[in-house]
Amino acid sequence: MRRRDFIRISSAAGVLGLTGSKFDASGNPFSEGGGFDLHPFIKEHPEAVFINLTSVKEKTDAKPIYDAAYKLASEMFVKTSGGKGYSNTTKITCKPNWTCSTGSKKDPEASLGITTDLNFIEGYLNGVKVKGPQDFFLRECACTFQWKTNGYTAMAERNNFDLTDLSSKDYWDLGDKIIFKTVDGVVFREVGFMAPMTADDTFLINIAKFKAHQMGITGAIKNLQGITGRTFHSYCGGSVDIFRSYDKRYHRFFQPDYLSRIAELHKKHAEAGYPRWNEKMDKPPFDGGFWMEQWAQRMCDSYSITPTGINIIEGIYSRDGDGFHGGPHNGRAMDFMTNNIIFGKDAFRVDIIAHWLAGHEPGNFGLFHIGIERGLSNVLDPFDIPIYLWTDGKAKKVKLDSLKRNPLLTYYLRRNTNGMNEPRYHMVDEPFDYKAWKSGKIAWAEQPSIRAIGTDAAENVVMEVSVPEKGDVYVDVLNARGEVVWRMHADDLEPGVHQVVWDGFSQPGLYNMYVKGMGWDAEREMVIYT
């Protein structure tokens, strides 16, 4: 399918790009009563990642895990007054990683490393509660039928936490229990979130699990996949054709040409040198890097409109393998007492450090490159991130390489083609040249392209042109009959991304955009409608 851009004319659409997931910790001021907020040092250092080391001996030690979580939360949050911080009426929303985890009755411990520890969640939220907020909402999209068996329902009831299944029904059956947010994404046009997730009067505590998965280390970003409603959160099923597999009532929430967008971006990123991006998988989903492109873009779409208060990865114990029961130990996964809790305000930075602590090289993961490309992150090298040990409510800056790494084998984009025979479960620890990447020599090799991105205040069509090398550049707009209706010429245009304004637009219709330089060209279709 040929790539098309769809541009609507009739309002000042603007040309704003996606913004990062920033969160204003000042919140809305309030005049009466107390409030709460993050510890000032955490609040004032959104660029930092913090590590809290615990000393739990066994993964079944419920009380030490609860106590460690309670203590940490009571240190990370403070009480406020005088209208500072968040009102105590603010709803606390929490996203644990409570995916499918049913194990054997003979070995009830077999599933523990799959999910965020139940005792940690209970302890942490109660530690937050003592600082003032009283309304807590737990939301998870996966395997709600296991909540009672796993003890989640009983835990929520005894603590008066709202744990409601909003993922087993479609949005049309849930009314205002689904919150829709608009995004000009690669895949999404609108995303439905399980209320009150992303509501204005909420503070989101994102608590992931330190474990391997087919995406590498699941981390904070992937965990947020599960705050969306039914079908919206179905990212892991491979690069499916949404318009064939989803109920037609969902189609309007997705970009009409998302698959061609994914194909174009995957090709671009593979040619740019994204590590492993051309690899295939020997287990569903088979399409490897292409599927990873779709997952990452879809995740970034929803992440870009999700304000988070704090991102945490619970690593008191961790798991290698496929994220569930499969792994490198005679076909089984294994849990390890890693005794670390990773947290920070920036989910990308938290995840980069988590990958490094798990023995992997973050520069080898496409998600982090895509996050930078989309303006959601500004760092790739883990050594560019300030690291603090958090002990008894105090932060001490340390060198990253002073921390213990705990290798967790994954089956992320296995290299088993072109004569390579990487084990099914492996480390993604091949060297990555961050210095070369920073100079633009690896991942950012520009490919010629042209696309329509919107309109300006005068309803002129704005196009984005990627120029791979300095030289004379021509931009043509052709109508459906192949006639040139507008032309632009620029002498000695510098390489990079440029905006071009078509100030001669007169009527809706199908057009073809064409950009040409010396030895290169690119084209794209554009549909303009009212």
Distance CA 405, CA 357 (A): 4
In a domain, 320, yes or no: yes
Q: What is the pLDDT of residues 347-395, one digit of tens each?
A: 999 999 999 999 999 999 999 999 999 999 999 999 999 999 999 999 9
Residues 498, 366 share a domain = no
Lowest mean pLDDT, pick from 58-62, 121-125, 131-135, 484-488: 484-488
Q: What is the pLDDT of residue 493?
A: 85
- Of 389, 416, 438, the residue at which a domain comes to its end is 438
Residues 380, 242 share a domain = yes
Q: What is the pLDDT of residues 84-130, one digit of tens each?
A: 899 999 999 999 999 887 665 667 788 899 999 999 999 999 999 99
In a domain, 104, yes or no: yes
Q: What is the pLDDT of residue 409?
A: 95
For residue 508, the domain's CATH number is: 2.60.40.1930
In a domain, 81, yes or no: yes
In a domain, 7, yes or no: no
The model's confidence at residue 524, banded by pLDDT at 50, 70 and 90, is confident
Structure tokens at 471: 């030289």
Distance CA 419, CA 514 (A): 40
DSSP-assigned states of every residue in 380-408: --GGGS-EEEEETTEEEEE-GGGSPP---
Residues 505, 394 share a domain = no
Residues 514, 382 share a domain = no
Residues 347, 462 share a domain = no
In a domain, 98, yes or no: yes
Calculated CA dihedral for residues 370, 374, 375, 380, nearest 10 degrees: 10
* pLDDT value at 142 more than 50: yes
Spacing of C-alpha 226 from chain mean position: 11
Strand order of the sheet with strand 4-8?
Answer: 4-8, 520-529, 509-517, 471-479, 484-493
In a domain, 241, yes or no: yes
- Give the pTM: 0.78
- Of 380, 415, 438, the residue at which a domain comes to its end is 438
Residues 231, 169 share a domain = yes
Residues 455, 427 share a domain = no
Residues 473, 356 share a domain = no
Residues 462, 361 share a domain = no
Residues 257, 117 share a domain = yes
Average pLDDT across the chain, whole number:
87
- Return the higher-pLDDT residue of 91 and 233: 91
The model's confidence at residue 20, banded by pLDDT at 50, 70 and 90, is very low
* pLDDT value at 237 more than 90: no
Domains contained in the chain, number? 2
Report the percent of the chain where pLDDT is more than 70.
Answer: 88
Q: What is the pLDDT of residues 436-491, one digit of tens each?
A: 888 876 544 456 888 786 776 677 888 878 888 888 999 999 998 888 999 999 98
What is the pairing mode between strands 136-138 and 91-96?
A: parallel
- Of 381, 414, 438, the residue at which a domain comes to its end is 438
- Return the higher-pLDDT residue of 181 and 500: 181
Boundaries of domain holding 298: 54-438
* pLDDT value at 305 more than 50: yes
Half-sphere exposure at residue 367, Cβ-oriented, CA atoms within 13 angstroms: 28
- Return the higher-pLDDT residue of 145 and 280: 145
Residues 278, 190 share a domain = yes
Q: What is the pLDDT of residue 442?
A: 55
Residues 414, 267 share a domain = yes
In a domain, 20, yes or no: no
In a domain, 27, yes or no: no
Structure tokens at 144: 């709600």
Q: Is the dihedral of CA 361, 363, 366, 370 positive or negative?
A: positive
